[in-house]
Chains A and B, each alone.
Chain A
Amino acid sequence: MSLKVVDNTTTEPVHKRNPGYPLDLDWVERVRMNRSALERRAGTIGARRTVKKDYQLAWLLKAITMIDLTTLNADDTDGRVERLCAKARNPIRRDILEQLGMGNRRILPGAVCVYHTFVHTAVKALEGSGIPVAAVSTAFPHGLAPVETKIAEIEASVKDGAKEIDIVIERGMVLRGDWQALYDQVKAFRKACGEAHIKTILGTGELATQTNIAKASLVCMLAGADFIKTSTGKEKVNANLVTSLTMIRMIRWFAEETGIEIGYKPAGGIATAGDALKYMALMKEELGAHWLQPHLFRFGASSLLTDIERQLEHGLTGHYAADYRQPMV
């Protein structure tokens, strides 16, 4: 028998990847989502659960490890991406981390998320950090390109070193109820991803109803999605707690039926530490704390990190912090 100091090691959780399943249209038709009730649950989670003091600080540190630090702007340049990657390597000021007694822990974002053009740059900039690069793909943000083009885009990103591919679905397929087409396309994307993990962006703000969102979530999971993700950040309505509840309840149902745990990524508009804590509480309540790990949960965000840093500093000093004093993302 040997004693081992476990404090400093991170054990990779055993995670079984979604193998994909046949499209089960009966299951899709059994989906029922009541918007008002979902809104009530989502609307009260922030009042039912709150974390204070050390708990809040620890939760916020955890939140950092689940951020996909993202830049998805038409005017992105290599320089901008490199700066983002540099921030990813040091997401919080060293002094803050030390004072929190967490200097020996790996507090790094879940991934850096960029357009295909910058995958190469990001991979290089993150070399040795262990931070994966995620590429948005398949004619992001609209998804309306020939399927061959989209598959080629995935393959190109994987070739450039992307470990995660955030694909977009064609919203029209959902609105038409063409589940077979959606299933076939996501399955083809999954195949093109190979070892890279696939996140399926639903574009929830354009799917009209919670029922559509739930059904699209299920079809993507059946087709082999590793993650389901709300939004591109370009729709008029991005991630919110109601949509999140719809999607994570589908994740729960999928896990009950298949034993496979699918990740969830809300994206767009999550800018404050307070928002992040609500999402985390919702995940913990509906899926369990176990789901709050980088391989099962991500925030698609960029400014969120700065706000978390400010809150951590405030927690330590008791002074409110200013964003310009945190190294910018």
Chain B
Amino acid sequence: MNKIAQIFDSLEYGPAPEAPDQAIAWLDSKGRKFGHFIDGKWTKPGKTFTADNPATGASLAEITDGTAADVDAAVKAARAAFKGWSALSGYERGKYLYAVARMIQKHSRLFAVLESMDNGKPIRETRDADIPLVARHFYHHAGWATHIAREFPDHVPYGVCGQIIPWNFPLLMLAWKIAPALAAGNTVVLKPAEFTSLTALLFAEICERVGLPKGVVNIVTGEGDTGAAIVNHPDIDKIAFTGSTEVGKIIRAATAGSGKGLSLELGGKSPYIVFEDADLDSAVEGLVDAIWFNQGQVCCAGSRLLVQESIEERFIAKVKARMEKLRVGDPLDKSVDIGALVAPVQVERIRDLMKKGVAEGAVVYEPDGQLPPAGCYLKPALVTNVSPANTLVSEEIFGPVLVAMSFRTPEEAVALANNTKYGLAATLWSENINLALDIAPKLKAGVIWINGTNNFDAAVGFGGYKESGFGREGGREGMAVYLKPAWEKTLKAAPAPAPVKAAAANPLDSGHVDQTAKMYIGGKQARPDSGYNRPVLGPKGELVGEVGDGNRKDIRNAVEAARAALSWGTTAAHTRAQILYFLAENLDYRRDEFAARIKAQTGEDGSDEVAQSVERLFAFAGWADKYDGAVHNPPQRMIATALVEPLGVLGIVAPPSRPLLGSVALLAPAIAMGNTIVLVPSERSPLSMTDFYQVLETSDVPNGVVNIVTGESISLAKTLAEHDGVDGMWFMGSAEGAAMVEKASVGNLKQTWTSRGIYYDLADPRFAGDYFLAKATQVKNVWIPYGA
């Protein structure tokens, strides 16, 4: 039978190859050997490594392994370019970004083919997803550049940004990094992932062609050491990293105390929840976009399927049937769904994880069919018979592997969904808008997709909760991480508090102590676990009181109380506002007493400080129901609502000065936004805040929302910073203390803000604005498609 007759009967698809000719011609034109792009020039290739095509194993080009000297040259170029670039008008910068967008669009197929060859992902994805999103990102940020002065008044760029990106969306991650950085007026040194440098190098050529001022964008290729040289370079002002949580933690620790800005977009194990009232077939198709997009090498991949028990059997059968239709093969074939993984080492890693999971009882389903004989291919896999204890459920696999579990009730779905150290994204399917909008805020993740998945847009911030990182990419939130208030650079070092010598050496050798100041934990006055008290001295060293000497266990108890009170975050903002107003009212009622206490501890007239504290409570009562999110309009028929959510439990270490305002100025924005807090008041003058719990008690503040632990700031700060149940940490104190806190935060990658030994005058009205609100919150974008 002739071939056409055969196909006529079988209706096979046959090959549909995309020609690689132009991409190969480009590589050839470069001699298949690349140096770095530094200061607008190409360096001579140094020691190189090979860029392979993972679909074939063929070598594509030689890439220079960047040295510390290369990084240094790039940073110098970026520093030199910064002055001119940041001085350009936003409009001028916007025009460059616009030109980049146009060029990417004009050469979109070259980028798409090159990306597919270098990374192994299907041409359909690079052509229809990666590259169009890259162009969109530059267009969108051309607009931000133009409007930056109006939209971010009194803000300035960081300076030189070091950016390190992963291999799963090479050019798209470059765009997510470079577009906002440049729009804000920063200059950049970017290192692409060693597996996938080629489109970044082609991008450098685009920068040349649009005449981008030299040194504004510098591309340094290399491996982990090159990245480390960027992270540790003293003249870099901000680090932006996308990659694994493991490396993210190393970077967090390495930058601790350096004062570098930091945004991290890390791993995930995102839940994909299907309720019984969903359009099941559409939910199955969504899974294809969730876990078999880019071979599952997606940080926000919907890799944990949670399906309601009533439909479990039917749904799993549908998933298996759908898997049979997935076509695995040559990434340059236009009809291929799953291409090659990026490198043999990834294939091995996934196989090892699967073995481990199976040994723990997992059942793996893979559809029939042959994989190509060579190349980094894996079959799509569905893993069942697992519980949260299985390795495959807890670990990020970063491959085409879906794990499935069931749930009985919406509440259980939420519990399972949140039962992870990650919090990047979550998907939920239901045709019931009441259910969907009830669940979305309860999921601890930075992006929620309702009835859809893996939607991305330049106007909608993307980024994680928990160990998925912090900072956002895209939209206003994304711009904010590349800007800082102009006044920050005017701040001076905080004067070291003058030592006060105790008038008496023996703790019992004291004057009359008329009051037992306790800690305040879970709405109860608590004695210190240690059984010790510490003296509080007046300015002349005289004993003015005693407070509990808090220790680890007091912090533990306080954090538990704070976690138990997290429903404060979903209490109506109006209610939170009322409680803050009531706090202000009750504090004002006792202003003379508080002023006297300040005077006793510091020797200064405290009436101004009390008045400022009352005013600050008033200010944040006003903010409670006003600092809220936007509704974005991505290009699809959907809205994306940016919900402003609290971090959760916030540890706050107050500065030594200003015993009342120093705590109240931090406490007020934190609880106004719905956080519960563990507050360590001024070590030297804690009595104002032990007085304050009586104000809390009379002001209807729910138990556990504010917890106060007195004692030695540094040791309590360390326990708080190391505590995995604390979601964020504010520390006002010495530079060494700040470095310690930032370093200790790596355990759960809690968000930190530290004063680093710099004097922040909390009485300044600027701190009644949104400065701390932004630090007390994180943005969750909920994508809601619509259409009957």
The chain A residues found within 8 Å of chain B, CB to CB, are 7, 32-41, 44, 47-55, 57-59, 61-62, 100-102, 105, 208-211, 249, 252, 280, 284-285, 289, 292
Q: Is B374 an interface residue (CB 8 A)?
A: no
Q: Say whether B509 faces chain A, with CB atoms less than 8 Å apart.
A: no
Contact A36 B13 (CB under 8 A): no
Q: Smallest Cβ distance from B125 to chain A, in angstroms?
A: 10
- With A and B bound together, what is the CA distance between A79 and B741 in angstroms? 90
Interface readout for B123-147 with A: 1 if CB under 8 Å, 0 if not? 0100110000000000000000000
Cα separation A40 to B429 with both chains bound (whole Å)? 15
Interface of A is mostly: helix
The reply to whether A51 and B16 form a contact with Cβ atoms under 8 Å apart is: yes
Taking CB atoms, residues of chain A closer than 8 Å to B13 are: 49-51, 55
Instruction: Give the residue name and chain of the B residue nearest to A209 (CB).
Output: B788
Closest B residue to A35 by beta carbon equals B787
**Cβ of A57 and Cβ of B787 under 8 Å apart?**
no
List residues 331-347 of chain B with CB under 8 A from any CB of chain A.
334-335, 337
Q: Are B282 and A41 in contact (CB under 8 A)?
A: yes
User: Which 8 A-B pairs have CB atoms at the shortest separation, nearest pair first?
Assistant: A37-B282, A55-B14, A58-B7, A36-B785, A34-B279, A35-B787, A101-B2, A289-B11
Can you give 21 contacting A-B residue pairs, CB < 8 Å?
A32-B278, A34-B279, A34-B282, A34-B785, A36-B451, A36-B637, A37-B282, A40-B452, A41-B285, A47-B124, A48-B335, A49-B335, A50-B13, A50-B334, A51-B335, A62-B11, A100-B4, A101-B2, A101-B3, A102-B2, A285-B325
CA–CA, A252 and B325, complex, Å: 15
B415 in the interface (beta carbon within 8 A): no
| Best-surrounded residue of B11, B431, B451 (most CB of chain A within 10 A) | B11
Q: Are A52 and B15 in contact (CB under 8 A)?
A: yes
Chain A proximity of B19: nearest CB distance (Å)? 12
Contact status A34-B5, CB under 8 Å: no
Quick check: is B523 within 8 A (CB to CB) of the other chain? Answer: no
Q: Which of B7, B325, B337, B431 contacts A54 (CB 8 A)?
A: B7
> Please, which residues of chain B bring their CB within 8 A of the CB of A35?
787-788
Are B638 and A36 touching (Cβ within 8 A)?
A: yes
In the complex, the answer to whether B15 meets A59 with C-beta atoms within 8 Å is: no
Interface status of B535 (Cβ within 8 A of chain A): no
Q: How many A-B residue pairs have CB under 8 A?
A: 109
Cross-chain contact A52 with B16 (CB below 8 angstroms): yes
Closest to A56 in B: B14
The docked-state distance in angstroms from the alpha carbon of A34 to that of B636 is 15
Residues of A within 8 A of B283 (CB): 37
Smallest CB gap from A65: residue in B: B8
B368 CB within 8 Å of chain A: no
Q: Mark B270-282, 1 if CB is under 8 A from A, else 0.
A: 0000000111111
> Is the beta-carbon distance between B451 and A50 smaller than 8 angstroms?
no
Are A48 and B10 in touch, CB under 8 angstroms?
no
* Interface membership of B513, Cβ < 8 A: no
A51 to B786 alpha-carbon distance, docked (Å): 33
Interface centre among A32, A49, A100, A289 (most CB of B within 10 A): A32
Is B637's CB under 8 angstroms from A54's CB?
no
Q: In the bound complex, what is the Cα–Cα distance between A47 and B289 (angstroms)?
A: 14
Measured in the bound complex, the distance between the Cα atoms of B453 and A34 in whole Å is 13
Residue of A nearest to B14 (CB): A55
Q: Determine which of A47, A51, A61, A209 lies in contact with B128 in the assembled complex, contact meaning CB atoms within 8 Å.
A: A47
Known contacts A36-B637, A47-B128; 4 additional CB pairs below 8 A are: A36-B786, A37-B282, A48-B335, A284-B11
Nearest residue (CB) in B for A34 is B279
- B12 in contact (CB, < 8 A): yes
> A39: nearest residue on chain B (CB-CB)?
B787
**Residue of chain B at shortest CB distance from A289:** B11
